Amino acid sequence: MIYNRIKNVLNKFCFRGEYMDVQELSSGNVNQTYHLFYNDCGKSCQYVLQRINGYVFKEPENVMRNIVQVTEHLRTSMEMQGLCADGHVLDIIKTVEGKPYYVDQYGGFWRAYVYIENAIAPDMVTSLDMMREVGRGFGNFQRLLVDFPAKDLYVPIPNFHNTTKRFYTFVRAVDEDKAGRVKKVEDEIEFFFEHRRMMNQIVQLLDNGTLPLRVTHNDTKSNNVMMDITSGKAVCVIDLDTVMPGSSLYDYGDAVRFGASTAAEDEPDTTRIALDMDKTRAFTEGFVEETNGFLTQAELRRLPLGIKVITCELAMRFLTDYIDGDLYFRVKSPQHNLIRARAQMALLRDIEKKQDQLEDMMDDLLRRKF
Ligand code: GN1
Ligand code: MG
């Protein structure tokens, strides 16, 4: 029963009212997430409770330190623009001891937020307007953090999007073959050797200073933006675990990879997977509208490279985890990581076919906007 997993934690946080119910939110691949329902003198209060994955996040207290700083900065930036921040930035619920997290007797690490009501976190983007709005949401997020002092941030997962290093980790996993699965995935392994040089490009452009390092979200799936049900507007960017210095190409690329795919991230039928160019364009319009003025020409021109690199990186991360025996991502079956890897590889093949279309789209948009 879900309740048994959380019952000893509930009274550690300053939730208002009386506990009523819990539902598990299962779209995340890393942390365990619960939606809590409370009743405060007839008024419904909802919260999100999460158990942070200690395998993925080695120092969760520092992850929370980042999130406290980033949410304070977001709040201040909004208020300085005369905007109301309530409901537009994650609101951390403190523990009864006044801390932003609780560590249980087994070392399990817990945190809680106010649940954003009347909003959805879309696993699938169902319209072009929604995709444009997702673009605005993440673009606005980067804009609000443009003056955040990056050096103050703890790096929760070093080399998170360093595809060069991720390739070496992948090769090491193949060499170790911990779960005895390498013989089943020879073709997939070959695919990443063929893509090695392409994958390195953003790292090289950051290293040689062509692209600037910015404070980025680094996990820009559409289900990390809450969309208001009534207005359809992006109201709040969530999942701030991986906010750290990175490239705008990562945020742009990951969002398009996820939101503009014609199928789910783990679609087993790869013939159903393609990049939807209309959704790609809609996202780009929203994102560029919000980041217009501070993204450099070097970044804007190379946004499509972000889609390719991030799709390839994630495909390789899924395959690495399959080879390792599913240590990192939560899986629903022993094949899940392999299915995910193949789905992302299929998406990458389609992105590569659409390379010219992506460049034409960017040329066209930049001609109009600048
Ligand atoms: C993980 O758990 P979730 O959905 O927030 C992963 C992302 C991947 C994503 C793929 C810390 O994010 O990097 O892109 O799965 N987060 C981490 O769905 O590794
Ligand atoms: Mg995440």
% of residues, the chain, pLDDT over 90: 96
Q: What is the pLDDT of residue 370?
A: 54
255 closest CA partner among 232, 239, 231, 270: 239
pLDDT digits over 165-185, tens only? Answer: 999 999 999 999 999 999 999
State the closest ligand 1 atom to the C-alpha of 29, by its place in the atom list counted from 1. 2
pLDDT-derived band of residue 368, with 50, 70 and 90 as boundaries? confident
> What is the whole-number distance in angstroms between the Cα of residue 73 and the centre of ligand 1?
24
Element (H, E) at 337: helix 336-353
> 55: which DSSP letter?
T
Q: What is the pLDDT of residue 150?
A: 86
pLDDT-derived band of residue 151, with 50, 70 and 90 as boundaries? confident
Distance CA 14, CA 98 (A): 9
pLDDT digits over 342-351, tens only? Answer: 999 999 999 9
% of residues, the chain, pLDDT over 70: 99
Given ligand 1 and candidates 50, 221, 238, which is best to mutate, with the most ligand atoms within 8 Å of its CB? 221
Q: Is the pLDDT of residue 369 over 80?
A: no
pLDDT digits over 213-225, tens only? Answer: 999 999 999 999 9
Distance CA 292, CA 142 (A): 11
Q: What average pLDDT is seen over the chain? A: 97
Strand partners, 114: 47
> 94: which DSSP letter?
P
The secondary structure of 209-258 as a DSSP string is TSS--EEE-S---GGGEEEETTT--EEEE---TT-EEE-HHHHHHHHHHH
Identify whether the C-beta of residue 319 lies closer than 8 Å to the C-beta of residue 187: no
Distance CA 209, CA 211 (A): 5
If one counts every other C-beta atom within 10 angstroms of the C-beta of residue 195, the result is 22
